[in-house]
Amino acid sequence: MEDDVRVLLIEDDVDAAEMYRLRLVADGYRVVVAHDGVEGLRLAADEAPDFIYLDLRLPGLDGFEVLERLRGEAATMHIPVIILTNYGEPELRERGLKLGALEFLVKADTTPAQLSRTVERTTGPRAQPSA
């Protein structure tokens, strides 16, 4: 559907990506998954997602580099990005927020339902799950 809210997950852990995808899809979002930073940038440009969840530890380009490049491109600079990572160090959090991430979430402390609600809070009411 054209007015679907599209979420891009940039996450190299296949199992984690699949879990978040299941929950977001159940809540009516359209989800695309990128398993590394380069693919993430490509999908961000091609798919024009409404929202991006970004892991920090990624093969090739790490999450910070991806965020910087997203912010440097006119087409992607306004897409809300939330960092979703296993690392909770305050200096990483600060760096991420400074680079323009909306929030910084630690995976082990964030349930898939919370992820979904965060998307909703940011992008507004979504279309109902399609039958």
Partner 1 sequence: MESGRDGLFATPQPGEPFGRPPLVVLPDPAPRFGSVDDDLREGAFGFYEQAVELVARVNSAQRPTCAAVFLKLFDDVLTCVAAHDEAGIALRGPYRVAEHPDFGRAVESGNAFVGQAVAVAPVRAHGVVVGLLAVATHGLEFGSEQSLQLVTIANLIGFRVALDATFREFQKEAELSRRLERLKSEFLNIAAHELRSPLGIVRGYVSMLREGTLADGDRDAALARIGEKSEEMAHLISEMLETARLETLSLSLSLEPVDLHAILEDALNTVRPLLGIAHSLAVDRGRGAISVVADRARLTTVLTNLIDNAIKYSPNGGEIEIRLDRDSRVAIIVVRDHGIGIGAEQIPMLFTRFGRLVTPETSHIRGTGLGLYLARETARLHGGDIVVASEPGAGSTFTVTLPLASVTG
Nearer to partner 1, 22 or 77 (CB): 22
Distance of closest approach, residue 41 Cβ to partner 1, in angstroms = 16
Beta carbons of 19 and 114 less than 8 angstroms apart: no
Distance of closest approach, residue 74 Cβ to partner 1, in angstroms = 28
Nearer to partner 1, 46 or 89 (CB): 89
What CA–CA distance (Å, rounded) separates 44 from 8?
7
Nearer to partner 1, 59 or 77 (CB): 59
Beta carbons of 87 and 56 less than 8 angstroms apart: yes
Distance of closest approach, residue 89 Cβ to partner 1, in angstroms = 9
Based on its alpha-carbon atoms, the radius of gyration of the chain, rounded to whole angstroms, reads: 13
Q: C-alpha 4: how far from its chain's center?
A: 16
Residues lying near partner 1 in the complex (CB under 8 A): 12-13, 15-16, 19-20, 22-23, 26-27, 57-59, 62, 86-87, 106-108, 110-113
Nearer to partner 1, 46 or 86 (CB): 86
Distance of closest approach, residue 108 Cβ to partner 1, in angstroms = 4
* Residue 24: how many other CB atoms lie within 10 Å: 21
* Residue 92: how many other CB atoms lie within 10 Å: 16
